[in-house]
Amino acid sequence: SLPLPWSIRMKIALGAAKGLAFLHEETERPVIYRDFKTSNILLDADYNAKLSDFGLAKDGPEGDKTHVSTRVMGTYGYA
């Protein structure tokens, strides 16, 4: 199969970034996703990105708490 055009790649990247921003800023309590990788980004027929696999997700900091301290989670090889 042919590689995706850069315009579609950027659409996917932007959609995934918007998903993370929504989880961090728009939910009642912030959500730390903790498993961001290509296999956890699902695409619909129009290449709209949807985040999946929230098994490692954690409630984010709230109120006067500014940090979440836990052990490192996720898939090795991804930052």
| Alpha-carbon distances of 8 from 13, 49, 68, rounded to whole Å | 9, 11, 34
Residue 44: Cβ within 10 Å count: 9
Instruction: Report the alpha-carbon distance of residue 61 to residue 35 in Å, rounded.
Output: 18
Annotation marks residue 46 as catalytic = no
From the candidates 35, 44, 59, 64, give the one annotated as an active-site residue: 35
Catalogue the active-site residues: 35
